[in-house]
Amino acid sequence: MRIAVDAMGGDLGPRAAVAGAASAVTADSDLTILLYGPAAQLKDEISRLPRPLAAASSSLRLMDTPRVVTQDQPPAQVLRDAQDTSMAGMLACLANGEAQAGVSAGNTGALMALARRALGMVAGMSRPAISTAIPTRREGRCYLLDLGANVDVDAPRLRDFALMGEVMARRIDALDRPRVGLLNLGVEGTKGTASVQLAHELLEQETSLNYLGFVEGDAIFSGDVDVVVCDGFVGNAVLKASEGLARMLVRRVQATFEAHWSSRLVGWLARPALARLRGELDPVRYNGASLMGLNGIVVKSHGSADAAGFDFAVARAAREVAHDLPGCLAEELGRRRPIGETPRR
């Protein structure tokens, strides 16, 4: 399996991407990773890999692209002048069939725009939606979308998100009938914006969906639903708040056990359980958001992700390749009525 990586887009520069890619290759010997960026910088980072990862360098191939898309560049500018950038090179590699998935921690708006142009969309989708898996109370996960790609969303588009999220949960997690909810201020039918109200009506007409109706924010973590749909403004706020809460809880627990000698003793005895809790809540474990709806697999890593986080993003891309997610979306959604079409009322 070949995965193309834009190694230059993250806040930590190429170091996190190169080390994360090497870690992914070490865990999966079938992987070959194409690293896009200035060759001299990438070669230098590979030479700095710690000894346990050094052997992975034979599965890392350098693809020299001298320019970089910066985090503050407007998408329109990038579309006009993206030639020779690491992001554009990675996407061209996908479009040419030289790799089966791509990963980038770069400028989200630019990545969305370039990916849409380079790869096209499946099943009549107009724009990709960003989705990631959120850990739930019952040791499962809930797919939340959209996470920021589409801020102002109409009802047909919310319906599209639900259809794509349902395919993701069923194919990736092998769920027979994923439970789908529409995020709202409350479960009462009178609440919510006009677009959310109309989306609810559209989803009730989708008889193939296991649609549970409106859900509130706590349902994302309760394990009672498998897919939660919302617009990108709300989804991004929920995701960032969740990540901040998880980090705060871990730090508070650690501080509590370190506050006094007696609690430090209890903390020492509880160390295995605390390590497990920290691992389950750590947002790094869930790094990597899918750009769903593209005619190809592109995973967006968090810009601040370290090597471990980037490793998880690469692993997510590999899972989607194994399940041929774009092919599943094209096949299943193509059999339904055209996406974005609103039935007459």
Decide if 312 contacts 286 (C-beta within 8 A).
Answer: yes
Looking at per-residue pLDDT, the higher value among 257 and 297 belongs to 297
Question: What would the two tokens of residue 37 be?
Answer: 């960026």
Mean pLDDT confidence for 6-18: 91
DSSP per-residue letters across 154-214: -HHHHHHHHHHHHHHHHHHS--SS-EEEEE-S-SSTT-S-HHHHHHHHHHHT-TTSEEEEE
pLDDT digits (tens, 9 = 90+) for 46-75: 999 998 898 898 999 999 999 999 988 999
Residues 6+ apart with CB under 8 A from 270: 257
How wide is the angle at C-alpha 288 spanned by C-alphas 308 and 187, nearest 5°? 130
Distance CA 342, CA 206 (A): 12
The Cα-based distances of 196 to 199, 215, 241, 289 in angstroms read: 5, 12, 22, 23
Instruction: Write the pLDDT tens digit of every residue in 176-221.
Output: 999 999 999 888 877 888 999 999 999 999 988 999 999 998 898 8
Tell me what the pLDDT averaged over the chain comes to. 87
Q: Which positions ≥6 away from 184 have C-beta within 8 Å?
A: 191, 192, 196, 214, 215, 216
What is the Cα–Cα distance from 186 to 36, expressed in whole angstroms? 46
If 0-12 CB within 10 Å is exposed, 13-18 middle and 19+ buried, where does residue 286 land? buried
pLDDT reported for residue 274: 61
Q: Give one word for 248, left, alpha or beta, with left for phi > 0 and alpha for psi -120 to 50.
A: alpha
Residue 336 token pair: 């339904």
**What's residue 115's pLDDT?**
95
Distance (Å, rounded) from C-alpha 163 to C-alpha 125? Answer: 11
Domains and CATH numbers, the chain: 1-123+293-323 (3.40.718.10), 129-286 (3.40.718.10)
Is the pLDDT assigned to residue 300 strictly greater than 90?
Answer: yes
How far, in Å, CA of 60 to CA of 46, rounded?
9
- The pLDDT value recorded for residue 313 is 93
- If you average pLDDT over each of 115-129, 198-212, 255-269, which comes out highest? 198-212
Per-residue buried b or exposed e for 165-195, using 16+ beta carbons within 10 Å of the residue's own CB: bbbbbbbbeebeebbbbbbbeeeeeeebeeb
What pLDDT, on a 0 to 100 scale, did the predictor assign at position 277? 60
Amino acid at 227: V
- The 3-class secondary structure across 57-75, one letter per residue, is HHHEEEEECCECCCCCCCH
The pLDDT confidence band at residue 265, using thresholds 50, 70 and 90, is low
